[in-house]
Structure 1
């Protein structure tokens, strides 16, 4: 069995048997979507097989820390990844690259390597397409239930508009292609706000 297959099975188990399964947004479905986004970006950007493997593995682990804590889950995700990858006899350089990618997904995103930039764009890919409106509903439910963060509709749309306007994609693919969809979503949220 390949390392990616082992990791995907291990993380799927974590995301479906711990409190992750109760999260409306940061759950197995989100992780699977981000894995697909990573594969898509790696193919579009002609990223080599070894780096693609690092990215796919980092993606599977990036939200597993929610099984332990909500705030600061990325540090827990890195611990879970490190422990598991050591058991699989992965070398330290490989583990470091995986952890660097996971670390970069903290908000606000601060990637320090080209690989981490790819995971950052994959993690936030949904803001560039029509999934954004569905995903943000799920995130709102999650914040209400797990962060005690309740806001009215107007405030929520304003928050989303600010997030979309402040966000910038990290890869050239993100800047050239994904940003177009982000701008379309900015216009849609502005139109929603016009009705308040």
Structure 2
């Protein structure tokens, strides 16, 4: 089985978490953007008088996306896998190039291709998917990207 039977409250948590998990970037934060994302989500949900029964699992999902990811619940696992879904898809090269450009712009530093490839090999090697779906459908493609990046190394 690759899917999960989720309660409506869990689906709502995942949806809200997906909306808010990277909003901290928009506030100008890269490092620890999850902390700012949690604040934005909490402020928004409090403004609309949501209870702690809604806010707490949403903020836990957002916190779980912090590297290294350490999800404890099924919704946290799902949001973590959604956040890095592209690692096991054909979109990986385009997405990682956009990320490299974003980092260069933010940090004002050039990341040579070899350094960037080595960073990605390390990241992909340490990364793990948490849901059965992603383990089944994406892990093998992610491993292929590690091999491709390794073959591009000089010498």
Q: Settle same-fold status: TM greater than 0.5.
A: yes
- Matched residue, 1:129: 89
Cα offset for 1:149? Answer: 4.1
Matches of 2:62 and 2:108, distance apart in 1: 25
Structure 2 gap ranges (5+): none
Cα 1:149/1:113, change in 2 over 3 Å: farther
2:78 pairs with one of 106, 109, 118 = 118
- Matched residue, 2:102: 142
How do 1:63-82 residues align onto structure 2 when only pairs under 5 Å count?
Answer: 63-68=22-27, 69-82=29-42
1:45 aligns with 2:4: yes
Aligned-pair Cα RMSD in Å: 1.6
Q: Deviations 1:50-73 (Å, cap 9, x if unpaired)?
A: 211110111100111112222221
Residues matched between the structures, number: 153
1:105 aligns with 2:65: yes
Structure 1 gap ranges (5+): 1-42
Bigger RCO (CA 8 Å, 6+ sep)? 2
Q: Output the TM-score relative to the length of structure 2.
A: 0.91
**Is the contact made by 1:129 and 1:185 (CA closer than 8 Å) also made in structure 2?**
no
Q: Output the TM-score relative to the length of structure 1.
A: 0.73
Matches of 2:45 and 2:81, distance apart in 1: 24
- SS for the counterpart of 1:168 is coil
- Matched residue, 2:112: 152
Matches of 2:109 and 2:126, distance apart in 1: 21
Matches of 2:68 and 2:44, distance apart in 1: 27
Moved more, 53-62 or 149-158: 149-158
